[in-house]
Amino acid sequence: MHAKGPRYQQVAASLIDEIKQGRWPVGELLPTELDLCERFGVSRHTAREALRRLRDAGMIERRQGSGTRVAALAPRIAYEQRVSSIEDLLQYGKATKLEFSSIERRAADRTIAQWLDCSLGAATICMHGQRRDRASRALLCVTDVHVVATPDAEQRYGTTPPLALATMLADLNISRLSRVEQSFAAIPMPKSAAGELNTRAGAPALAALRRYFDRSGKLILAAHSVHPGNTFTLSMSLGHDVIARR
C-alpha cells in the first residue's frame, strides 16, 4: 500500500488514511508511541518522526504526559504570506508614512460598535490620520483608527497625535499580534474624506477595514481606511508539503 519512500512516511501515510476514515474521531487519543512502534515494527525514533509530520500538518496535537489527540481529519492547507513587518502585510511600502491629525472621544454608533465588538454607545477613542508618500508627501488615503476607551487605552492613546501613533505601532508589534482580519469594499467616496483627498464625493472609493487581534483573541484596534481608487494586491503562496518534504 504505502511501500514507497522512507519508513516514517509510510507510517505517516497509514495513520493519515486511518484518521481520514474516522478510526479516531477528532479529540480522540491515538495509540501511544510505543504502541505504534510495536504495530509498525519500527523504532521509537521513526514513530516519532511520523507523528511529527502529522503534527506539522495540523492533524494531531501532542501533550507531554497526556498523549496524542486527533485535531483534524485532513492535513491542513495553508496559504501564507511572508512578511517582515505589519506594513508588509498591508502592502504599504516603506515609502509611506501614517500621521495622525486629531483625536476625539466618541460614543460607539452601530458601525463602530460592530467593528470594535463592543456595545452600542460604549466610549471609544477615534484617531483620524492620513497616509502620505514619504518623499512627495502626496496623500494616499485617510484613516480612522478606533479603540475601546478603557482606562488603560485612555491613558495611552488619549494624549497627542504623535504619541498616539507611537502607542499604536507598539500595540501592533509582531510579537503581540496574532491575527489580522482585512475587509475590502467599494463605497461612494464620503463627503468628509472627499475634501481631504481632493476627489468628488460619491466617486468609487476603496474602503479597507482592518481588525487586529492579540494572542488571546482579544481585539486590539480597528482601522478604517478610504482610498481614492488604489489597488490592493495580496500575494499568497501555498505552503510546502509537510508530510513528504525532506
Partner DNA sequence: CAGTATAAGTTGTCCGGACATTTTGCCGAG
Partner DNA sequence: CTCGGCAAAATGTCCGGACAACTTATACTG
Contact status: 89 vs its own copies (CB under 8 A): yes
Q: What is the dihedral of CA 35, 39, 40, 41, to 10 degrees?
A: 90
Distance CA(181)–CA(243), nearest Å, equals 29
Query: Do the bridges between strand 139-148 and strand 177-188 make them parallel or antiparallel, or are there none, so unpaired?
Result: unpaired
Scan residues 197-236 and list those touching DNA (CB under 7 A): none
Grid cell, residue 175, equals 510579537
Nearer to DNA, 72 or 177 (CB): 72
Contact status: 119 vs its own copies (CB under 8 A): no
Please, which residues bridge with residue 146 across strands?
126, 222
Name the minimum Å distance from CB 121 to its own copies. 24
Grid cell, residue 162, equals 504623535
Name the minimum Å distance from CB 139 to DNA. 50
# chain residues binding DNA, by CB under 7 A: 25
Residue 43 three-state SS = coil
42 touches which of its own copies, DNA, none (CB within 5 to 8 A by kind)? DNA
Grid cell, residue 146, equals 478606533
Kindly list the residues in this chain that would bind its own copies in the complex (CB under 8 A): 58, 62, 64, 74, 76-84, 89, 174, 177-188, 203-207, 227, 229-239, 246
Kindly list the residues in this chain that would bind DNA in the complex (CB under 7 A): 6-9, 30, 32-34, 41-46, 48-49, 51, 62-68, 246
